[in-house]
Amino acid sequence: MPAGLVISAHAADFVWRAGGAIALHAAQGWRMVVVCLSLGERGESAKLWREPGMTLERVKANRRAEAEAAAHVLGAELRLMEHGDYPMRVPDDTILALADAIRELQPSFILSHAPGDPWNFDHELTRRVAQEAQIISQARGHNPGLAVAGPTPVLMYEPHQTEWAGWRPDVYLDIDAVFETKRRAFEQMGAQEWLWDYWTRAAAQRGNQAWLNGGRKIVHAEAYQRLFPQVATTLG
Amino acid sequence: MPAGLVISAHAADFVWRAGGAIALHAAQGWRMVVVCLSLGERGESAKLWREPGMTLERVKANRRAEAEAAAHVLGAELRLMEHGDYPMRVPDDTILALADAIRELQPSFILSHAPGDPWNFDHELTRRVAQEAQIISQARGHNPGLAVAGPTPVLMYEPHQTEWAGWRPDVYLDIDAVFETKRRAFEQMGAQEWLWDYWTRAAAQRGNQAWLNGGRKIVHAEAYQRLFPQVATTLG
Amino acid sequence: MPAGLVISAHAADFVWRAGGAIALHAAQGWRMVVVCLSLGERGESAKLWREPGMTLERVKANRRAEAEAAAHVLGAELRLMEHGDYPMRVPDDTILALADAIRELQPSFILSHAPGDPWNFDHELTRRVAQEAQIISQARGHNPGLAVAGPTPVLMYEPHQTEWAGWRPDVYLDIDAVFETKRRAFEQMGAQEWLWDYWTRAAAQRGNQAWLNGGRKIVHAEAYQRLFPQVATTLG
Amino acid sequence: MPAGLVISAHAADFVWRAGGAIALHAAQGWRMVVVCLSLGERGESAKLWREPGMTLERVKANRRAEAEAAAHVLGAELRLMEHGDYPMRVPDDTILALADAIRELQPSFILSHAPGDPWNFDHELTRRVAQEAQIISQARGHNPGLAVAGPTPVLMYEPHQTEWAGWRPDVYLDIDAVFETKRRAFEQMGAQEWLWDYWTRAAAQRGNQAWLNGGRKIVHAEAYQRLFPQVATTLG
Amino acid sequence: MPAGLVISAHAADFVWRAGGAIALHAAQGWRMVVVCLSLGERGESAKLWREPGMTLERVKANRRAEAEAAAHVLGAELRLMEHGDYPMRVPDDTILALADAIRELQPSFILSHAPGDPWNFDHELTRRVAQEAQIISQARGHNPGLAVAGPTPVLMYEPHQTEWAGWRPDVYLDIDAVFETKRRAFEQMGAQEWLWDYWTRAAAQRGNQAWLNGGRKIVHAEAYQRLFPQVATTLG
Amino acid sequence: MPAGLVISAHAADFVWRAGGAIALHAAQGWRMVVVCLSLGERGESAKLWREPGMTLERVKANRRAEAEAAAHVLGAELRLMEHGDYPMRVPDDTILALADAIRELQPSFILSHAPGDPWNFDHELTRRVAQEAQIISQARGHNPGLAVAGPTPVLMYEPHQTEWAGWRPDVYLDIDAVFETKRRAFEQMGAQEWLWDYWTRAAAQRGNQAWLNGGRKIVHAEAYQRLFPQVATTLG
């Protein structure tokens, strides 16, 4: 069974940015695993914090429940870590554990955040963590008993304000077959309702651009930047 | 029959830089068409000009013969234009004719030069010409009687000194199946013998990099940068 | 009466990309002048060309009528030139005439296209033309009888696929007060109906980003990149 | 009372690079607060260290006294921290404290260092610290009892060798009204006398460039790069 | 006798930007040749045009006289062309003639303008012309009777607003030995008196930066960016 | 006796990338010191780890022996540190010790890794460590008893996949006089035999490019990017 791995900063990032890819491959029988380094409890839960008497534990519980519901809709396994947010800090043990997870899963691709994001250092850090884990997963001297991973492609999903994040889309992924599922996953995220329409429109913009570049009608798409070059056996 | 189009500045550029892709697709039954905007008679024929009594006509004849021999080895149709070199100048009529050629051929991809090249303005101009022809080929109001082309992908092959040309390889193409053919095509180019080994080594370097990125043994490869984003139905 | 100048490649570009700025300033009593270098008759009128028996003259007439209707809705003066499209070519006389127009109008700003656009060379050319006209408008030895212009700011509006055009938004302009007008202008452009929703969504995405950066609710915005640095008397 | 915040690496950086902005806004009744993360005692006090028998404590006392005198001249409140220099290291507690200071002050802008500086890692680190504090200051879950800050603009002042620091001036600030004050602040910095003239000339160069871009005579200016896009209600 | 070639857009550019290099090498017995493609009569003679009754011919005569006086002070041969300015347009014949001049002079280096300049398209065009001439000068098939040139290094001198021109200084040239000469050359340029102090301060800023990078006292310097990589026999 | 310092991530990097520079200067009587921050035991010893029963200690011993043999061939002093690899982590004490080593050695140049490397975070970290040590070595307040260092030039040697590492060669160093020695050093590195030919071909490619840029025959070269601008007394 082929597999894909998503390494997301906060509990909801994977839904908005990579929900289509997750649902698409899951629907084709892939094992899709999503790791969130943080619940996003401090910086990405503004709506919850506006409620009177809110506590950190209630925010976390809410975020956890929403993320699990969304992952369930998309067909993904969810692994929630708690490395905090605003600021997130990730110890080396987590990087090594992610390297082992890559080896165990042997994913065909890893999805994570953009190269930079001036509004969100947690996102940039998560991409670095994902990248370093991918590098270590190939080192034969790291846990030499385990089978090493190959050079897994890493694709970086769309940040909120793309042009300031040093991000450029290399690949438009047609997600028309699963867009309704993706939208349903959005609707599990009650704490960030304002993003439902934002990312629905984003999918439509990328769909239009995919149409222009691909020459056949596509309504909704997701966009990804590659972190490494591709290897191909044909240019067609 | 699928087709590919190569738009090359000088008569030999296509051999060194895209000979593998040409031979590979030709061997699979593709129609491969190579257009050279110039014979490279002034700036890329130093060896010939060192012979006593050399004339422009003899240089051109020699370049034409060599290019045809190389195209024959690779399995490509060759169309030689004479827009001069050092400097090359290309009239709008040629751009429009190329747009029509794209429409007629309906290629799956176009190969051409890198975004810049501080040592060779003809290369940069050729890429601009190829790109503008591709743009015009999609315009319904250009020669409205003809069927328009779709958004043909353009891939830019490797320049001589990559890091100064703003070029970065997005795709490594495995050419192991045809490398002997590519090398044989090199050997038709007697006027630029010093490049045989240069580009043989380049293919080996790219082969090694392809191996590292692809996780399976590749000995010889070619490298291409995409001018437009890809459209995909899977990330696997 | 303060004035603003828009230098647009094709007859409709100004509507999608700068319609909000035009309507906003026009509503405040500014004189807003729009120059289109081309009608976009060959490359941006696909819907018309799909009609049986269409001719170049009918396409042009249609484009002219639509552009005039849209300019009327926005409150702008329209000056239509015919320098063709796909490819556009602009003679020096036009650049000099634009320099004189800048001197005559003494605009507070000039709006034009992005620094690059791999899908549309006409856009890039138009920006170069606008920039060169702005440069010449300040040269005391050009038409020395006329009053020179000052260093007019040039702002580049949003291209279709921003990340590949080397464009980054420096300024988000709140267009909530005039968005209905902008949408009404869209609806004059029958030949490009597919763009109505595309640019409505784009305005909403920029509105959300403006909200995030400005700290107060903005629903629709336009985005601009500056071609020159600003001069300020306060940072507040 | 509007407020501005300067987050400076070493005790004197704010004087050379942002002294004009500080004096200008202070003179208009703003509360201007300057935080220095370090006294610059090891790497930016060469003149003092050349004196025989110099000690770290004497250098620090000297730097502290000079910085206070300069802040007094400019009309700013000064907060000196001691995170060392060459190398500076900043604990997370300081970042969180800065986030709280931003919330308390609710500044209209934050001034800090350039995106990079190959000669000075402390500068780059300080900009990162300022940026992360600004991000955290907006997170509702960080110290949820406190009022959050809005999206405060961050402007990066001029580094010493601009072209190698990835810095480009987006805004020229006219400081003619306060240049004598800025120069007087320079003269409090006895340990770095060689910089008085350097930054006086720099202000004159930026003044000339401001003149060229603004169209009215400006003699002295400071230059700033924006870290985030602007939000505007007019382009005029 | 070693030689150097300067290819300048307007009659005075070489003085401000490369006057030190010219004087320095001339003083060491080099043959220094300066080619100006234009007199700068329209766009760089504002002071003259403010005089009542000024004519184009008088401006040109004045510019010619000033440029000759400055070249004389610096010790350079001057070749003035008249390709106009604002806008400058350069025919291919001039490029070919420059290629022949490079062959005849066999310079050790060519100095010209920066890679871009958003305020001055003539400068960017001149750099392209210089670069293309250098390329052609090496083509054995161009005027095959003449001895070809080698790969002459091209260095790009400082533009007015460096950070917006894509220019970065690779080399600081110590001009202390000839700075008084350079200043004297400035003073020949009566039509641009406002630049005397601007470029005197620029030389002092670069001098300080040269000191910081070189470790020995330098008061005045010029800065250059290389267009091609260097070839060396030692790194010391 | 002049000196050069190489700061290498893993035990073998200095051989492939800078072995020519080391041998060249050593042969001319320079003191060449190589510091390796890691043995490369986990991530760069794949061949060893494929042997049955391999242990970390045996890998380290093997790497140490090979590095010493190679350094001996090249004529360098070797200092091996053990900061691990995949991932490498470097404490501040090491950075301070390197600053002191720079002061003690007073090298004419420091060689280290490229600005980035998406496949190898240890390389990027090593460059940062080398750069920070160079910065601190100039700070008079760091270990004020010791003589400070001047502004030592840092040159970054070639990474494996140059175009993705943000690296561009500023200097081609002719290593023809010592290439046989460099190749002999390669052959000491039994654990990475696949790299012998890779870097032999790389030297030939750079040799060809050096020839093209220098105008005289060079067969093998190394390539370096400068981290700081040069200071020169002539452009010839």
State mean pLDDT over C175-188.
Answer: 98
Q: Which band of pLDDT confidence, cut at 50, 70 and 90, is reported for residue B185?
A: very high
Name chain B contacts of F202, Cβ cutoff 8 Å.
205
Per-residue pLDDT for B191 more than 90? Answer: no
Q: Which two tokens stand for residue F48?
A: 């060893």
The pLDDT, as a whole number, for residue C167 is 98
Using a CB–CB cutoff of 8 Å, tell me whether F89 touches chain B: no
By C-alpha distance, which of C126, C132, C97, C100 is closest to C114?
A: C126
Partner-chain residue, chosen from C167, C169, C198, that has the shortest CB–CB distance to A208: C198
C4 shares contact with chain D (CB less than 8 Å): yes
Given this model, what pLDDT does residue B58 score? 97
Contacts of E118 in chain C (CB under 8 A): 131, 227-228
Could you tell me if residue F150 is inside a domain? Answer: yes
Average pLDDT per 10 consecutive residues for chain E, totaling 236 residues: 97 96 98 98 94 95 97 98 98 98 98 97 98 98 93 98 98 98 96 92 98 97 98 96
pLDDT > 90? residue B193: no
Is the link from the previous residue into D144 a cis peptide, with omega within 30 of 0? no
Work out the pLDDT band at B194, boundaries 50, 70, 90. Answer: confident
Establish if C235 belongs to a structural domain.
Answer: no
Contact assignment for A204 to C212 by CB distance below 8 Å: no
Buried b (16+ CB within 10 A) or exposed e, E19-47: bbbbbbbbeeebbbbbbbbbbbbbbbbbe
Domain count, chain A: 1
Residue F13 counted as domain residue: yes
- Split at pLDDT 50, 70, 90, the class of B146 is confident
What is the Cα B233 distance to its own chain's centre? 28
How much of chain B exceeds pLDDT 90, in percent?
96
Question: Which tokens in the block code for residue C96?
Answer: 């000099």
Q: ipTM of this model?
A: 0.96
Q: What is C35-94 written as a DSSP string?
A: EES---TTTS-HHHHTSTT--HHHHHHHHHHHHHHHHHHHT-EEEE----SSS----HHH
pLDDT for B42 beyond 90: yes
CATH code for the domain in which residue C159 is found: 3.40.50.10320
Q: Which domain holds residue A206?
A: 3-226
Looking at the predicted structure, is the pLDDT value of residue D65 above 90? Answer: yes
The predicted pLDDT at position B222 comes to: 98
> Does A18 reside within a domain?
yes
Nearest-CB residue to D141 (from A49, A161, A164): A49
- Burial (CB < 10 A; 0-12, 13-18, 19+), residue F53, is exposed
D117 lies within 8 A of chain F by CB = no
3-state secondary structure of D173: strand
pLDDT digits (tens, 9 = 90+) for B203-226: 999 999 999 999 999 999 999 999
- Whether pLDDT at A193 is above 90: no
Burial of E213 (0-12, 13-18, 19+ CB in 10 A): buried
In a domain, E233, yes or no: no
Task: Please state the rounded mean pLDDT for residues C57-81.
Answer: 97
Res. D221: pLDDT tops 90:
yes
Per-residue pLDDT tens over the stretch D70-108: 999 999 999 999 999 999 999 999 999 999 999 999 999
Q: Stretch C105-122: mean pLDDT, rounded?
A: 98
Q: Which of residues 129-168 of D touch C (CB under 8 A)?
A: 150-151, 153, 155
What is the CA angle A136-A140-A142, rounded to 5?
Answer: 55
Structure tokens at C81: 């030139």
Say what the pLDDT of residue B150 is: 96
Residues of F in contact with E169 (CB under 8 A): 229
Query: Does E232 map to a domain?
Result: no
Nearest CA in chain D to C234: D173
Report whether B203 contacts B179 (CB < 8 A): yes
Identify the residue among F95, F100, F135 best suited for mutation to test binding to D, counting D beta carbons within 10 A and taking the highest.
F135
Would residue D231 count as lying in a domain?
A: no
Identify whether the C-beta of residue D91 lies closer than 8 Å to the C-beta of residue D100.
no
Asked if the structure places residue C13 within a domain, the reply is yes
Instruction: Identify how many contiguous H helices and E strands chain B contains and give both numbers.
Output: 7, 8
Give the pLDDT mean for A170-196: 95
What pLDDT sits at residue F145?
82
B62-91, pLDDT tens digit by residue? 999 999 999 999 999 999 999 999 999 999
Amino acid at D25: H
Confidence of residue B145 (pLDDT cuts 50, 70, 90): confident
CA distance A105 to A82: 21
Low-confidence ranges of chain F (pLDDT < 70): none
Please answer yes or no on whether E173 and F233 come within 8 Å at the CB atom.
yes
